[in-house]
Copies of this chain bind each other. A is one copy, B any other.
Amino acid sequence: MPQNAPSQAPELQVSEWLNTQTPLSLAGLRGRVVVMEAFQMLCPGCVQGGLPQLARVQEHFPESEVAVLGLHAVFEHHEAQGSRAALAAFLHEFRYSFPTAIDCQPPEGAGRALPLTMAAYAMQGTPTLVLIDRQSRLRRQIFGHVADMRLGAEIMALIQER
């Protein structure tokens, strides 16, 4: 499961937060395991697979041990899914309550560049699931599907590390 020597997870670069009253950061979550899903609200694999699974993570692990985060990483259809209002409506309708960050868009003129957090993690697309340990190190990054049983096991392995 662990891949090479784990390095620090790049800090999140967020333009706005939803479902939380105060902005979050990996630095501030140090000491807990972080399970973060990069998604787009119009990505079928996210809507049908990744996000329901993230909600199950939230349901099965105590918040004191595992911080569950969404990362809205829009890299296409910006006009359709790029607004805060669109994301807020989506989270409301699908009843997702985990804190959700809007990934920073690249500066104008950067061409078809990825949003900044997505780029820092070198993600290939959405959904991408990221597991970060209690010391803020990046331990796993999964593009696409992962079975619930395996994910539950990997999260527990990180919880057990002290």
Contacts and interface: CB of A to CB of B under 8 A. Distances in A.
A152 B43 CA distance: 27
Contacts of A88: 80
A147 B76 CA distance: 35
Contact of A89 (B61, B80, B155): B80
* This chain: copies in complex: 4
Given A81-B89, A83-B79, A153 B155 contact: yes
Contact of A152 (B44, B81, B153): B153
A94 B93 CA distance: 18
Interface of A: 42-44, 47-48, 56-57, 60-61, 76-77, 79-81, 83, 85-90, 93-95, 147-157, 160
